[in-house]
Every structure is written in C-alpha cells, then in structure tokens.
Amino acid sequence: MTSHQAAVSAAVAVAESHGILVHEPVVLHDSFSLRIHLRPAPLVARVPTVTALGRPSPGDALAREAAVVSFLHAAGAPVVPPSDLLPPGPYVQDGVAVSFWAHVEHDPDHVITPDAAGRALAELHAVLRGFPGELPRLGPVLEEPARLLAALAGVCEPDVLGRLRDAHAELAARLSEVGEVQAVHGDAHPGNLLATPGGLLWNDFEETTAGPVGWDLVCLRRTTRLDGHAALRAYGVDPDDPALRVYGAARALQGTLWVLARAARSPQRWGPSARAALDSWLRDPQGR
C-alpha cells in the first residue's frame, strides 16, 4: 500500500514535470485516500491509499471521477473542479496513481442544514442524468466489497468474516435486480459538500457509479452530521420508503468493510472505531 512519503513524492514529481513548482506539500486529508495541497500552487493531488485495497486498478476510479466531474463542471454544476494547471490525469508515477484538482478555499466548520443538503443532491442528480459516459453498474457496492472481503481474510475472526460474506452474497443477488440506473455520486454525504464563498460544492466522486438514485439517498440519510430524514424530505422523497431498505443494508455493509480495511492498515489509529463499527453492524446488519 502506498506510504505517505511515496504519495507526496509522486504527486510532487508529476506536478513539477508540468512546470509547477512545489515548495510546501501539505496533507489536507488522510483517511481512505490522501489529499495533498501542493503549495504554493492552488493544486490538490489525490492519491488512493486504503481505497487501493478494493480496486484492482485504482487509476480507473480516478479516471471515472475526472470524467464525471469534468462533465459536471462544464454543465455548471457546483463541484470542486479538476485542475486547470495541468491535465487532471490520472497519472502513474513510480507505481503510484495520482490525479489533480483545484484547491478551493472553504469553511470546514460551516453547518450544512438538512434542507441545503437535500436540495444540493436533487440538483446534482438532475445534472448527472445527462452524463453520457460508461460507468460500472454499482461497482463500488458489489465489486469492491468482494475484494475487501478477500483482503480481510486472516484479519477478521472466521465466523465474523463468514457473516460478512453471506450478507454480501445476499445483497449482491438482490441488487442485481435493480432496474433504472443513472450516474450517481456514490458517497453523497455532507462531508463531501464544501462550504465555499460561492456556495456549497460537491467533492470526492471517487465512488461514482451507475446506480439507482436510492443509493445516494441512503448515503445522505445515514449521515450523523445532520438529520438525514429531513434532508431526504427536502430532496423530495419519503425517507422511510421501503424501496430504500436494500440500499441501507448494502451501505451499512460497505461502510463496515471499508473501516475494517482501514484499521488493518493502521490498527493503532483506526482499530477502536473499526471495532465499534463492526459491533454496530453485527447488531443491525440491515443498517437501520
């Protein structure tokens, strides 16, 4: 898995090969991927770290993200745009995948209301319906968890791993019957909305996929950052619609697998929160 030093070195090397001087690379975010501000340029590099565990080719996800966000930006949708200082990529430098985005000033302490979040998602979906490109059908929901389950062999207790595998198999069968799909964000919670001087901007489309809008709706409904039920009402749907239940269960499983994978990479930092997430899932695998 890519180390911090390798990630920063790769990002700096690609930027400087395009004539961009980097004096002070600063890690902005380190959780499932790494975001690095390549100061003094208004440029942010994204490098997959934990997410690489669930993806045979991490660069493919970065390419899909760049394609979807470029489309949205050209259509005037409120998104953090790809960089205009160099092509966004992705690039592979010394075995490390990296893409590039504009650095946007924002207020991390801004409180996003349920009404604002719901309306923002409805507006995003309206534009995404016109995306003309090919996207994998529920790839982050079906394919990536299967790879994470394989990576967690020997990390989780065998009986727990068996329960996780059985749940994924059942949900995969149910989700294979989903009808209408479109391009969706894939991880549409308020943490991926940045409050900027110009308004709220959607960020982090690394899990973008062809899927039902219900997937994004449960991502928003399950958030602990605001009242998700109120946000769905602002979107214009019934937050208790029974049709959303399968997506809620799939989101709960997906989230649990990712935090377990993150803890396997850094047990001291992420182990306690992963244990809590797993215990929560074992008590309620339906994600209620």
Q: Which helix (H) or strand (E) holds 92?
A: strand 91-93
Do residue 91 and residue 120 come from a single domain? no
Q: Which of 76, 102, 128 is the last residue of a domain?
A: 102
Residue 237 structure tokens: 């749907």
Q: With 70 as the cut, is the pLDDT of residue 173 above it?
A: yes
Nearest one of 173, 286, 287 to 228, comparing CA atoms: 287
Do residue 177 and residue 54 come from a single domain? no
Percent of the chain with pLDDT over 90: 73
Q: CATH number, domain at 174? A: 3.90.1200.10
The whole domain housing 222 covers 114-283
What's the CA gap between 89 and 101, in Å, rounded? Answer: 10
Nearest one of 7, 171, 200 to 94, comparing CA atoms: 7
Do residue 152 and residue 266 come from a single domain? yes
Per the CB < 8 A criterion, the answer to whether 82 and 206 are in contact is: no
- The string of pLDDT tens digits covering residues 21-35 is 999 999 998 888 899
Q: With 90 as the cut, is the pLDDT of residue 288 above it?
A: no
What's the CA gap between 195 and 198, in Å, rounded? Answer: 8
In a domain, 107, yes or no: no
Mean pLDDT of the residues in the chain: 92
Q: Considering only 102-106, 224-228, 260-264, which range has the smallest mean pLDDT?
A: 260-264
Q: Kindly report the pTM of this predicted structure.
A: 0.93
In a domain, 263, yes or no: yes
Beta-sheet pairing, 209-211 with 182-184: antiparallel
